[in-house]
Amino acid sequence: MVSVIMPAYNEAGMIRTSIAEAKMLFHILCPDYEIIVVDDGSNDGTAEAVRSMKDKRVKLVSYPNNQGKGYALKAGFGLVEGEFTFLMDSDSEICPKT
């Protein structure tokens, strides 16, 4: 399994597109994947946008106050189930973890 961590802050307008692009890519590369979206204290409905997708491969971590990207990554890594983990910004830039 592959895990994708996607930290997001106030990305309600972009998050569905980013998740869809990640799903397309990882469905081709490794059909056994999960996407962990970490809503880093957004106040624009980012968490609600993710929840509305109702996708069992997409997990959501959300907390009320913005803590920064490092905190968001730590929260995401706490839920990783995959053997390999990728980081993907909510603007769809993919960065493999070494």
User: What stretches of the chain show up as alpha helix (H) in DSSP?
Assistant: 15-29, 46-51, 69-77
Classify domain 2-96 at the CATH topology level: Spore Coat Polysaccharide Biosynthesis Protein SpsA; Chain A (3.90.550)
CB 43 within 8 A of CB 11: no
Q: How far is CA 85 from the centre of its chain?
A: 11
Say if residue 98's pLDDT is above 50: no
User: Can you read off the two tokens belonging to residue 80?
Assistant: 């990783």
Which pLDDT score is estimated for 45?
A: 96
CB 70 within 8 A of CB 39: no
**Predicted structure pTM score:** 0.90
Backbone angles phi, psi at 51, to 5 degrees: -60, -35
pLDDT in tens, 60-91: 999 999 999 999 999 999 999 999 999 998 87
The residue ranges of every structural domain in the chain are 2-96
Say if residue 94's pLDDT is above 60: no
Give the burial string for 27-51 (b: 16+ CB within 10 Å, else e): eeeeeebbbbbbbbbbeebbbebbe
